[in-house]
Structure 1
Amino acid sequence: MRMTRSLAPLRHRDFQYLVSGQLASNIGDACYAVALPWYVLAERGGTLLLGTVLVAYGLPRTVLMAFGGAASDRWRPWTVMMASDVVRTVGAAALAVVALLGPARAESLVPIAIVLGAGQGLFLPASFVIAPTLLPDRELPAGNALTAGGTQLALLIGPAVASVVVGSLGIAAAFVVNAATFALSALSLARIRSAKRRSTPAPAADSGNAVPARTTLRQLLRGEPALLVVLVVTLAGNFGTGGLSEVAVPALAHGPLNTGAVGFGGLIAALGAGALLGTLGAAQLSRPRRPAVLCSAVCLAEASMIAVTPYLGGAIAVGVGLFGYGLFNGMANVVMITALQRWAPPNLLGRVMGLLLLAGFGIFPVSVAFGAFVVDRFGPIPFFPVAGLILLLAVIGSMTQRRWRDLGVAVPREGQPACVA
């Protein structure tokens, strides 16, 4: 019965196409993430060129997330996603041609990276808006869990696929795979019919703090503390976790744990496996009575797990701690995204998702720099409780806001029973 609820969204043909297309493109992204550094460094481009290309990719991706959300509201998420996939297909194909023709050069790689980053920035907010147009409200948590789970699965298997492709066929072949996955995503979108006809999500169940449909984004930011709380918690969580995954965990594996590359890979795999299981576990929650309170409780558990992980003992115990951190993080993400999809006015959903993504991705470079500073001065172990404390304080502060606690609270129509988790 539980498994049936988790897989219920796959009964809808259009959602099947959406999930399969996004899984393909996420695997392609993983191939790109492995092949690009290898190409630049193997062709004597150096770390400076690699950093320049990564900035050229990351900056437009972050900046255009807010615009991508607005574009999804003004037009249709399907249209924005299709245009993004077409642009990224061309960009990845151009990158494959560049890799075939010769060594890595800034004048070739930087423009392509800008195009790919811009396409990703436009695509991501739209991908969160399209799901409510394809699924009934009761299946939305399971649908979000399946798409998030597909992303986590791609992060687990994508690097292995890229390594095999690069090792056997060459670097250019990995970029060809990336282009092909974007093309597959576009073809999957082309088979989706209902999203072409419907530009906004269907109305969800009545909410105790529903926002008027004609509210503007400025009015929403001024008059709804709940949205500001979501953004603050997102900033706080990502401020700690970015430095955690990119700096503190590698430094912990290399230094105090002395696990080597294989052990470090195992720690990252444990984190990813926990996130995958957490997203799938969230699929069991059809409509929690108080989703924001549930999310806060899960985030408190996440903060606690982050803080204690380096003190658990050896590599296996730390891996268990990272698994728990990933588990709670994956569950909290699905619960919060689903609550926002149900709460936000349909005409503003894209912009709300764009702001949420902008908060998460925008703070990432700052988080990495902060993590590098703390780890360099004090070592990797103290950074874990610092990251946990930042998230803990943000969540405790959020619980003092009644509008936050009431976010997404369903008010049953007359004659209907109240919804329970």
Structure 2
Amino acid sequence: MTSVFSTLRDSFSPLRFPNFRIYLSGQAVSLIGTWLQVTAQAWLVWTLTGSEEASGIVAMLGALPFLIFGPFAGVIAERYDRRKLLIGTQIAAMLLAFALAILVQTQLVQLWHVYLLSFLLGTVNALDVPTQQTFLGDLSGTSELRKAVNLNAMILQVSRIIGPAIAGLAVARLGIAPAFWVNGLSFLAVVASLVALKSNQKLGENKKAQPLRDLMEALRYLKTQPRIQDLFIFSTLTVLLVISILLSQLPAVADKLLHGNAETLGTLQAASGAGALIAVLFIMPIFQSLRRSGVALSLAAVWMGIWLLVFSTARSIPVSAMALFFGSMGAPTVIATALGMVQFMTPPEMRARILSLFTMISFGLQTFAVLIIGFVAERLGIATAIEINAIILIGSAVLMFVFRTEMRRWEMARPTNSPAVVTELI
């Protein structure tokens, strides 16, 4: 028991760095605003269309830029000052939030406005995500990188509880526009934190970027790393089969299966965030200390699949919320573990490029997943669509466990500049 508490206490050690504390505090405020907008926008699209496909298209347009621009985002993040890049992405996202707020406030909003703004925000995020993940290493150092990623994930999950809960109440009582105004203002917090701190990034001597050459170098490195490939696969399965439902289909569940409203949607998203927070606080620190991480990732995927099956059959708010609570424990465990391990395994000079490939593959392919689940839900019903995802997830995890034998017998090693940064268990 003492070792468990020691592990949990040690997971907060990156907070001893002042720059990391400043950045995380700004992120906390901004992410609450982000989840306000996610919930409000999902309900806005549902009220405009009542269509699962339309909800899927919005999510698809937000993910498409990861597929288009993702490979080059890492090159940019390695060549230029990441702190300044993040200030730029946050200001751009703030302006997009204000644009949507104005359209909703003036009652001029149409579906194509939401489509366009989703694509533009996705373009901003395609640069922001790999830059931000690499920036965490600038603030915490390689030795604390995995813990820094976990703490950032914890802040995200806290915001997933607070943001949707506030949004559900606010939309039901005040309308949709205030959520977008608040989100726009919340970006000021993270911009202020970025202005206040200094990163430890060391720019290379050769500032002239050669995007295609740098990208091919990253792809060649990835080809030699089967363990990183396994992490990509697990993260991709989670995004395609679980996150796609959370991002695009909860409004349909709240309305069609539970006969609820925006408050119901907020409750479901908050339940998902609460489960994810419990995972980040108590499960991930222990999970990531396990020697056989590949086995643990397989079990986490099966766990998510089982609770997705429960969620698909639920017809009451308490049961649906419970299923999301327990099922959502798996998603951040898999994704944050994969992110942390990929960064830990990758040499510093390659890290931003590999992370951009990670986001391109994991999140870019979400483009197709949300379209497919929207298409299936529109024709076979939302419950059937969720059941199909659950069965595919469980089956894929079992196949990975059975056929990727090497995955079951490796552990983390200290990061080096050599590609061989993982040792096999004997």
- Same-fold call, TM cutoff 0.5: yes
Are the counterparts in 1 of residues 254 and 264 from structure 2 also a CA contact under 8 Å?
A: yes
Map 1:4-403 to 2 at 5 A. 4-36=9-41, 56-105=61-110, 111-166=116-171, 171-195=176-200, 197-199=201-203, 216-242=217-243, 245=246, 259-261=258-260, 268-281=269-282, 284-285=285-286, 288=289, 290=291, 293-304=292-303, 306-307=305-306, 310=309, 320=322, 322-371=324-373, 377=380, 380=384, 382-383=387-388, 384-397=390-403, 399-401=404-406
C-alpha distance 373-387 of structure 1, shift in aligned 2 (>3 A)? farther
1:83-137 per-position Cα deviation (integer Å, ceiling 9, x unaligned): 1112222222333334444511477655544432221221111111111121144
Given candidates 409, 413, 423, the residue that maps to 1:409 is 413
8 A contact 1:339–1:407 mirrored in 2? no
d(CA) in 2 for partners of 1:333, 1:385: 20
Cα drift, residue 278 of structure 1: 1.2
Structure 2 residue identity aligned to 1:360 = S
Show CA shifts across 1:37-79 (max 9, x none).
Answer: 555677x688698777665544335533333222112223323
Q: Scaled by the length of structure 1, what TM-score is found?
A: 0.76
Displacement after TM superposition at 1:156 (Å)? 1.6
Shift of residue 332 of structure 1? 2.7
Contact 2:67–2:361 (8 Å) recurs in 1 = no
**Cα distance in 2, alignment partners of residues 259 and 165 from structure 1:** 20
Larger displacement relative to structure 2 (59-68 or 107-116) = 107-116
User: Which residue does 2:209 correspond to in 1?
Assistant: none
Q: Is the 8 A contact 1:226 1:407 kept in 2?
A: no
8 A Cα contact 1:59 1:117, kept in partner: yes
Secondary structure, counterpart of 1:284 in structure 2 = helix
Deviations 1:186-214, CA, capped at 9 Å, x for gaps: 1111112134x5459xxxxxxxxxxxxxx
Deviation for aligned residue 1:168: 6.1
User: Which one-letter code corresponds to 2:280 in the other structure?
Assistant: T
1:303 shift after superposition: 0.9
Shift of 1:276: 1.2
Distance 1:57 1:223 in 2: 31
Identity %: 23
Contact in 2 for aligned 1:149/1:276 (Cα 8 Å): yes
Tell me: CA distance 1:33–1:354, structure 2 relative to 1, closer, same or farther (3 Å). Answer: same
Q: Taking structure 2 as the reference length, what is the TM-score of the superposition?
A: 0.76
Distance 1:350 1:46 in 2: 40
For residues 217-261 of structure 1, what are the alpha-carbon distances to aligned partners after superposition, in whole Å with 9 as ceiling and x for unaligned? 132033222233322333333333246546888888888xx6553
Write out per-residue CA displacement over residues 9-62 of structure 1, whole angstroms, 9 at most, x where no aligned residue.
2222111122122222222222222333555677x6886987776655443355
Secondary structure in 2 matching 1:194: coil
Residue 323 of structure 1, CA deviation:
3.5
Give the aligned length: 393
| Residue segments in structure 2 that go unaligned for 5+ positions in a row | 1-5, 205-215, 417-422
1:12 and 1:182 map into 2 onto residues whose CA distance is 22
Unmatched segments (≥5 aa) in structure 1: 201-214, 413-417
Report the Cα offset of residue 343 of structure 1: 0.9
Task: Read off the aligned partner of 1:359 and give its amino acid letter.
Answer: I
Deviations 1:118-160 (A, max 9, x none): 2122111111111112114443333222211111121221123
Q: Secondary structure of 2:413's partner?
A: coil
